[in-house]
Structure 1
Amino acid sequence: MGFFFPFIGVASNGCLSVRWVAAELGRYERNVEQNESTYWLYFELLWREYFQWMLYHYGARFFRFKGIANKRPLTTFYAEAFMAWREGSTDFPIVNAAMRQLKHTGWISNRSRQLVASCLIHELGVDWRYGAAYFEQQLIDFDVAANYGNWQYLAGVGADPRGSRRFNLDKQAAQYDPDGSFVAKWLANEEPLF
């Protein structure tokens, strides 16, 4: 049985209240079923709220190079590296596929968002704010707090005490695209798609 959200609880600006969604999710779990999907929906709601409150608390500091941790990341702006990332023409097929998907659909999965952000920051050495700004332009589900909060998290300038998050892109590709079908779909035409 699918998840159904009736139109009650919709705020005047067209958004759903997080409290309402959480209450409906709890009702669904009590009356229908509790499963891995309902767990992850609640988990992501918590992250969304966390970043909303972080933005509210830190204000303009949320957008600074050093982030809320006031730590200087070892990045700068490399125009060629940024353009290769944006166009999906890096040395990393999983990143290229995700960036092409983003360009064509306006959406990529949360895992892909983490992988492409990790690549831009840690492999290409580009200032995280350029990636965050590019996502702001491209994502159809863009949320300012979640976007900038997640980019800070990956750059190591956010609230996470463990520091930056660097993904092993080969390992991630093997785990999340073991048969290479995602990469094959988005890189079928090797000519630039843009």
Structure 2
Amino acid sequence: MGRKLGDLAEISQGFAVQSSVKPDPNGNVRMVRPSNGSDQLVINWKDVVRTNVASRKTLHYLEDGDVLFFAIGREHPAYLIEKVPEGPPAIAHQHFILIRAHADWLDPGFLALVLNSESAQAVFRERASGASGKVVNQRVLKDFEVPCLSLPEQLQWVQRWRQRCAEIGALRAEVEMIASRFRGDFEVEFGGR
């Protein structure tokens, strides 16, 4: 049996941008956009741009342990916020929904894994609405049932996920090395002729 995510977390919309994000190296915030998410379900901070935001709205600055849920499109990945860099604060783009868990027993890494599971993604696809693009609204997330596992069990799953990511990364590096070695050997043998 699960508990509703709305009872376990604060859920808020990302920052509404009027047009495209205009990069400014001296900007007052970092804007995390959907393209900054990695296949390891974390944010690739080196590609996050700085921009200027003059807003009368309350800004929800990202903190380690937050989860960003991509609300628009055919897929709805969720990304764990880790290692927020020093410097200007970071905010989420409007296509994200920010989830900040406040239940002591819920690990945010586990929450991200649950939200990215095939069964959860099927629920989100089914409940998404909109004529032009599929949008998962905050109500769908608030009503989403999170499995009640003990914190040690959750942390085990997160550790297994991190190990999986490390193994896949090592295999990708090995594949690239094999491909690079072949290209180099081929060019030495036949290049420039």
Q: TM-score range by the shorter chain?
A: under 0.3
TM-score by length of 1: 0.26
TM-score by length of 2: 0.26
Instruction: Pick the structure with more helix per residue.
Output: 1
Instruction: Pick the structure with more strand per residue.
Output: 2
Task: Give the number of the structure whose alpha-carbon radius of gyration is greater.
Answer: 2
Higher relative contact order (CA 8 A, sep 6+): 2
